[in-house]
Structure 1
Amino acid sequence: MSAWIEPSSRLPLRWGRYRARLVGGLVLILLGSGFILVTTAYSLPFLLIGSILQPAGWAVMPSTIGRRVAVVLPVLGFTWLMLGGSGFAWCYAVPLAAWLLVRLRPLPSYAVLALPIAASLLLVRVVTTYQQGWITVVVGVTVDVAAAWTARFIALRLDSWQAVRTLRKSSG
């Protein structure tokens, strides 16, 4: 049995190297999301900066162009919704879904989307004031990261046999 290879690393890239684009895209997405989530009425420039950085991050991620374009507006819109506090913690499922789509995860791995939704049900009961908003961000990001790694584990266990239709067509 051969070693598992990340499906998106097998895609032909028109520019750049896989690892640099992956790390650069992830850094831009995280910085952009961070800038958006620290926005207040007194720091609106952060919203603008984050709204530029986050789509730039999705644009450089190594994946198919259709997947990268498909996630930009939904993720940006739902990240803005997260500014509403713990009542919108379920929105953390949208960037996770985008990550799974862009990283070419197989359909069964999308079951991990239940994790941020379940966490949001708990957060809405625990986080009750604006000053506690950082708890929502920390828990939401932690759950998303754990869910993304769980989805990778699921893909690994399935050997990504259904991860990328594009790759199956080109190899057949």
Structure 2
Amino acid sequence: MSTTTLPTPSPPARRLEFSGRYVVGLTLIVVGVALSNLMSTYTLMLLGIGPLVQLIGWLVMPGALWRRLLVLLPCLLAGLVLRAGPDFAGAFVVLLAGWLLVRHRPLHSYLTLALPFVASFALKAALDSYSMTWVMLLLGTLVTVGGAWAAWWLAETRRIPRKSVRTLR
């Protein structure tokens, strides 16, 4: 008498939180903005490479194509405007708004745009010279990333549970 063992069914594959496109897109966006802002007289080629890398990052991100195309120009310009110093720290608001739109965040999560908005005024008041641009970039990035995480938290906590739909038999 032979015994046959049937393979146990494997659990269904779960969708990963961070897909490859998400990680690659986010990395390219951050590197593109950084390259645009870390250029100097001796590295002017970064001014051409940075926006191109950022552009590719926005296009690689998962999400609806129309949303990614809508944020391309404003976010590219915001990434370049940051180069002008602490007076233009408000560009972080545009970058966060683009991120929220591409990530399909609900409308109430856009309240987090107040974080970089208020921070831009604080940075402008506290940093009075162009030589402090690196401080503005560091603090503005931290506030913007915090705003993105706060928007995610708001989106998750205020999620409306879907009711089961009964069908007529």
TM-score if structure 2 supplies the norm length? Answer: 0.82
Q: Report the Cα offset of residue 40 of structure 1.
A: 2.8
% of aligned pairs identical? 39
In 2, the alpha carbon distance for the partners of 1:160 and 1:133 equals 42
Give the SS at the match of 2:19: helix
User: Cα offset for 1:42?
Assistant: 3.3
Consecutive unaligned residues of structure 2, counting only runs of 5 or more, are: 1-14, 162-169
Aligned length: 147
1:103-142 aligned within 5 A = 103-142=103-142
Instruction: For 1:35 and 1:144, locate their aligned partners in 2 and report how far apart those are by CA, in whole Å.
Output: 18
Task: Give the superposition deviation at 1:41.
Answer: 3.4
TM-superposition CA deviations, 1:12-71 (whole Å, max 9, x none) = xxxxxx610000000000000000111233321111110110010000100000001111
Q: 1:53: which partner in 2?
A: 53
5+ residue gaps, structure 1, are 1-8, 10-17, 162-172
Distance 1:49 1:125, change over 3 A: same
Q: Which has the higher contact order (CA 8 A, sep 6+)?
A: 1
Residue 73 (structure 1) aligned with residue 73 (structure 2):
yes
The answer (yes or no) to whether the contact 1:106–1:160 under 8 Å persists in 2 is no
Amino acid at match of 1:127: L
Higher helix share: 1
Q: 1:110 to 1:160 in 2, by over 3 A?
A: farther
Q: Does 1:36 align with 2:45?
A: no
Task: Report the Cα offset of residue 159 of structure 1.
Answer: 1.3
The 4+ residue runs of structure 1 with deviation greater than 4 A are none
Q: 1:99-122 CA distances to partner (integer Å, 9 max, x unpaired)?
A: 000000000100111111100111
Aligned residue for 1:12? none
CA RMSD of aligned residues (A): 1.8
1:105 touches 1:160 (CA, 8 Å); kept in 2? no
Distance 1:110 1:43 in 2: 36
Amino acid at match of 2:74: P
Q: How far, CA to CA, are the matches of 1:107 and 1:101 in structure 2?
A: 9
Output the amino acid matched with 1:45. Answer: M
